[in-house]
A = this chain, B = another copy of it.
Amino acid sequence: MNAPPIQRLVTELAKLPGIGNRTAQRLAFHILRADPQEAYALADAIREVKERIGLCEVCFNLAEGPRCRICLDERRDPSIICVVEEPNDVIPIERTHEFPGRYHVLGGALSPIDGVDPEDLKIAQLYARVAEGGIREVVLATNPTTTGEATALHIAEGLRERAPDVTVTRLASGLPVGADLEYADEVTLGRAFAGRRAV
């Protein structure tokens, strides 16, 4: 019973991840009720992001220009590179304020089943960055999933061949802070044991 423009908006909103039809309906009505300025600001922000944001030519993170803010930041240590799957993985790492170096965004993880091969990711570009020299450590921060682990392993082997002097590390896997042993799954708990440290 929606008028076509409303239905069109509901359909477009429902394509967003985690937004079902009901939520899309609710969001559409909010937009209908909202101040036109607010609605146009949202529409413009969507257009702008597609028009102005590309990939950094160095690390393939999102960038508003040829290079991203982190690659442009002189204070960031260029000798340590953190390898992540997607641009949105950079944000939680930045939030920790623990990582002083730069990034390399692969654009996904290896998954032969889904047809994602090494050539589909920015792996060759990582090797090229390392080959240029000046890199002492590569931190593999792909997700602790099957595909993320496979990707980390593949890159670790590739780097070992190409740049044996570069330290290759992987983020620690174990119990999340605040977790309860009783509810930990056995794989995580196994990892936590394997990675135990002296206190």
**In whole angstroms, what is the CA distance A12 to B16 when docked?**
15
Check B16 against A64 for contact (C-beta < 8 Å).
no
Number of copies of this protein chain within its complex? 2
Q: Mark A20-46, 1 if CB is under 8 A from B, else 0.
A: 000101111111100010111111111
Interface residue SS majority, chain A: helix
Q: Chain B residues near A75: list those with CB within 8 A.
A: none
**In whole angstroms, what is the CA distance A38 to B14 when docked?**
12
**In whole angstroms, what is the CA distance A45 to B27 when docked?**
12
Q: Which of B15, B26, B69 contacts A3 (CB under 8 A)?
A: B69
Q: List 19 A-B contacts (CB under 8 A).
A: A1-B69, A1-B90, A3-B68, A6-B53, A8-B45, A9-B48, A15-B42, A16-B30, A17-B26, A17-B30, A25-B91, A26-B88, A31-B49, A32-B53, A32-B62, A39-B46, A40-B47, A43-B47, A46-B46
* Interface, chain A (partner B; CB < 8 A): 1-6, 8-9, 11-13, 15-19, 23, 25-32, 36, 38-50, 52-53, 62-64, 68-70, 86-88, 90-91, 94
Q: Which of B11, B19, B49 contacts A5 (CB under 8 A)?
A: B49
Check A1 against B94 for contact (C-beta < 8 Å).
yes
Q: Chain B residues near A88: list those with CB within 8 A.
A: 25-26, 29
Q: Chain B residues near A26: list those with CB within 8 A.
A: 17-18, 88
Using CB atoms, name the residue of chain B closest to A64: B3
Give, as a whole number of angstroms, the nearest-CB distance from A10 to chain B. 9
Q: Chain B residues near A32: list those with CB within 8 A.
A: 49-50, 53, 62, 87
Check B27 against A16 for contact (C-beta < 8 Å).
yes
Q: Chain B residues near A53: list those with CB within 8 A.
A: 3, 5-6, 32
Check A5 against B91 for contact (C-beta < 8 Å).
no
